[in-house]
Amino acid sequence: MSGNDWWGFEAGTEFEVLEDMKLFRHRSSIVILSRFSKNPILRSLQYALLAIVAALVTAAWMVAIDSSAWAETMANTTGMLDDLSSDPLIYSARPAPVPPRAPAPAQPSPPQAVPSQAQPPRLPVVSQPAPEPARRRGPVQTGIASHYWQPQRVGCRPYGNFNPQAMTAAHKTLPCGSKVRVTNKRTGRSVIVTINDRGPYVAGRIIDLSTASFKSINNGSTAVGVLTVSVEPL
């Protein structure tokens, strides 16, 4: 194919094309493009160009219609809002604003009761129990008292030797280590001794005193071997 055939011209038609191009301003574009319809490639380009032009025209037309419709819709919406804002029934239904409440005044606290100073408070009286009389460990015995001085073993624990100079005595039943008051019935003198031995084993005698305790209630003498005494457990 020659160069002229590729562009869709037949041989010997160059002058006719030039004549046709001179008339380009006076002829329509469809008539000019029809001269290139013999070539299939140009025919395809022609159809594509026509489709593009048609699509552009359609899009421009749709944009124009949408713009006018959008402007009309906005105008209608603005008019409706103006009508609603001017309607007194709508604004009358709104509640009136509530003014803020003022704080309540502080109430004074009630006066506290002041205790009267006229009368002093009374203290509760607690009754004190009556003191119990002193209890005695045993009954007071009255009888004959003797004395002894012989060295011997005592009968109460701890066992040890008898000391005649100590204020001790021997008794048959009183607890070992207990104290008793021995009183001379004739002179009234008395002495407190500790029971650390057992005895006496002579009939009629109730207690056996050491030499020192016997002398203390008999004016310092042992000339009289026995005395009438009272024995009081302490």
Q: What is the CATH number that goes with domain 141-233?
A: 2.40.40.10
**pLDDT digits 0-9 by tens, 49-65:** 888 888 888 887 777 77
Q: Residue-wise pLDDT tens for the chain (234 aa)?
A: 444 444 444 444 444 544 555 554 445 455 444 555 567 787 788 778 888 888 888 887 777 776 666 667 676 666 666 665 565 555 454 556 677 777 777 776 666 665 556 666 666 666 666 665 555 568 999 999 999 998 888 989 887 899 999 999 999 999 999 999 999 999 999 999 999 999 999 999 999 999 999 999 999 999 898 999 999 999
Supply the mean pLDDT for the chain: 75
CA distance 230 to 180: 10
Chain position carrying tokens 């056996």? 208
Quote the pLDDT of residue 130.
63
CA distance 143 to 227: 8
Quote the pLDDT of residue 213.
96
**pLDDT digits 0-9 by tens, 29-53:** 554 445 555 677 877 887 788 888 8
Domain ranges of the chain: 3-75, 141-233
Cβ neighbours of 21 (radius 10 Å) = 11
Quote the pLDDT of residue 172.
94
Helix (H) or strand (E) holding 85: helix 40-85
Q: In Å, how far are 24, 32, 124, 163 from 18, measured between CA atoms?
A: 10, 12, 146, 180
**pLDDT digits 0-9 by tens, 139-150:** 999 999 999 998
CA distance 203 to 108: 97
